[in-house]
Structure 1
């Protein structure tokens, strides 16, 4: 399994709108990609900006490429998401998942 890790930041006043866009539009679309296995959406609210960490799980690098294309390290954005984000990681990172245990 492959974990695709990416970070983006918003101004505090844009954080709720960005999270809603992720939950209502972006993540449901990604879940329809063949080979997508799940997602973690993390948020850390700070006084000056809010950080989001998105970790998508895919069964293989081929599944990642179905989502992101052949240049799969480049982040994928909805136009509205790009407007809400104040800064972004320029690349997504990919990790081989060696173990996973999440509490219910």
Structure 2
């Protein structure tokens, strides 16, 4: 299994909207993809705003590429996310999952 780790930052006024976008729109679409194994979304307040870290899980790198494209490390930023985020990682990092719950 592959874990795809990515983060983005937003202002407090946009944080609830971004969280709702992830929960209600983006992650259900990702869950429907062949090879998707779920996702975790983590949120924390920082002095500069609110940071979100997403960990999406896929059965293989090929499944990640079905989501992200041939260059699997490129961030996938939907237009609604672009409106809500102040900054984000331009690239995701991928890890082989070696221990899981």
Shorter-normalised TM range: over 0.9
Unaligned runs of 5+ in 1: none
Matched residues, number: 101
1:23 deviates by 0.5
1:48 deviates by 2.9
Aligned residue for 2:23?
23
Is 1:62 equivalent to 2:79 in the alignment? Answer: no
1:73 deviates by 0.5
> Could you say what the CA RMSD is over the residues aligned between the two structures, in angstroms?
0.8
Distance 2:46 2:93 in 1: 23
1:90 deviates by 1.4
Aligned residue for 1:43?
43
Give the conservation status (yes or no) of the 8 Å contact 1:12–1:46.
Answer: no
Matches within 5 A, 1:1-104: 1-101=1-101
1:29 deviates by 0.3
